[in-house]
Structure 1
């Protein structure tokens, strides 16, 4: 297996509490890999460790064969490991196009200068419009980002993530709080942007996970409980118990909840 991201014995403790414990994860290049688990399982902490927003207490992280355990967030982003956040992060008073253009300014060497002349910044417009088309936001290009419906804001965030030219995208709850229509739109979008990339995603909606993910890793109490294809993992008695209790009659709910 060609693994693009691997951890060995990854752990994080807070004042003696183990939020993530001895997690050894392997994400196959070109796959969509789901990280799931009940509330408090350690999923977001694990994401923060992988993208260096938290330092690990112990263990190692390798990306594309390179040890990134002690790197900073900006350094791993430059290597192509880029994340989104559970709460949509956009500049609300800038237009949708301007939000993507800000992300594209990274091509100037990482400087995000709002005071540059309009002509300098407009050289990013063509690429920004291409990215908006990729995520279905062309019609919203001149709208203030803060006016977008929630699902469209998440699509904008994915566009700004794509502007950083990631090799691997980490998506934290991309469908959280969405209507059914928005969920379907984001699922289609994730499938599209995953072409030629690797995606690791935290997601509570198991129906979304079932439709998107090649491999599922289940966390509970900061440790890996099970791993494999969705059909296999969703029938694991320990996984069912972790989500819903041990009554076998609710197996179907675990598989489709």
Structure 2
């Protein structure tokens, strides 16, 4: 048992001759928070798209939970618990927080196409939906339409809908984007809380958040891994400082 729940070997993606990701060997240890950082154009989002199967690699393999998923479909890996937040967190703005989470809960139960049924059909999901909302600090917003939620609370709702799929690995793409200090603190605490029972792989530009949350950091530059380790280790790496941390480039 390696302890790694997600691994890539030689992961490469070319677009019309341009190499966006080149020979990436990534190992994400189960039960940890692993951050993927680097300047714009480093290949972070392409890596996410490859891992979650929205893109097929030009070369290399991807293994998740002991299985080769290189050629798997996006919905298959999501069903197996490898979930990128936007896959199921397209929040319906005019539904309440409870209704949004309840819709997400329908997928594993086979009720996916019954959202138009009478209210009593879905009442069995209410308790679990309320529990998830409580877990992300939204108990007081149960009946609030998503469109009326403050931005940070809306991101918390997205995390609740992601949790509804019971992911083993959550992939969070810039979870702090556009947030103020108060929301960043709240969502950081939420990510730390939900990571206790699962693995988190995240792309994040806010280095304070990365330093605070991450067990391991992988630094990408021009589609390749430049360095990997703890925040203290990568922040002392002179190549990293020149390529990313010292530039101020996000």
Bucket of the pairwise TM-score, normalised by the shorter protein: over 0.9
Q: Write out per-residue CA displacement over residues 47-82 of structure 1, whole angstroms, 9 at most, x where no aligned residue.
A: 011001111111100001100011111100111101
Q: Deviations over 1:8-38 (max 9, x none)?
A: 0001111111111110100001110000000
Deviation at 1:89, TM superposition (A): 2.6
1: CA distance between counterparts of 2:79 and 2:158?
18
Judge conservation of contact 1:172–1:202 (CA < 8 Å) in 2: yes
Deviation per CA, 1:107-148, whole angstroms, max 9, x where unpaired?
A: 322624321221111211000000000000111111110111
SS of corresponding position for 1:194: helix
Q: Is structure 2 residue 117 aligned with structure 1 residue 116?
A: yes
Give unpaired runs (5+ residues) of structure 2: none
Structure 2 residue matching 1:195: 3-state secondary structure: helix
Unaligned runs of 5+ in 1: 247-252
2:103 touches 2:112 (CA, 8 Å); kept in 1?
no
Return the TM-score normalized by structure 1: 0.93
- Counterpart CA distance in 1 for 2:75 and 2:97 is 23
Report how far residue 6 of structure 1 moved.
0.3
**1:102 matches 2:112:** no
Structure 2 CA distance, aligned partners of 1:117 and 1:83?
30
Instruction: Name the SS for the 1:234 alignment partner.
Output: helix
Change (3 A) 1:212 1:245: closer
**Is the 2:85–2:162 Cα contact (8 Å) retained in structure 1?**
yes
Q: Which residue of 1 aligns with 2:218?
A: 217
Q: CA deviation at 1:244?
A: 5.2
Partner of 2:199: 198
Residues 208, 161 of structure 1: CA spacing in aligned structure 2 closer, same or farther, 3 A cutoff? same
* Whole-Å separation in 1 of the counterparts to 2:111 and 2:80: 13
Cα distance in 2 for residues equivalent to 1:133 and 1:79: 25
Mapped partners of 1:244, 1:135: distance in 2: 31
Alignment of 1:1-257 (within 5 A): 1-85=2-86, 89-109=90-110, 111-243=112-244
RMSD across aligned positions (CA): 1.7
In 1: Cα distance, 2:186 partner to 2:245 partner: 28
CA deviation string 1:135-165 (max 9, x = no partner): 0011111111011111111100000000000
Q: Where in structure 1 do 4 or more consecutive aligned residues deviate above 6 Å?
A: none
| Alpha-carbon distance, 1:245 to partner | 5.2
Contact kept? 1:102, 1:112, Cα under 8 Å = no
The separation in 2 between residues aligned to 1:181 and 1:56, in whole angstroms, is 39
1:198-251 deviation per Cα after TM superposition (whole angstroms, max 9, x unaligned): 1101000000000000000001111100000100101111111112558xxxxx
CA distance in 2, matches of 1:130, 1:153: 17
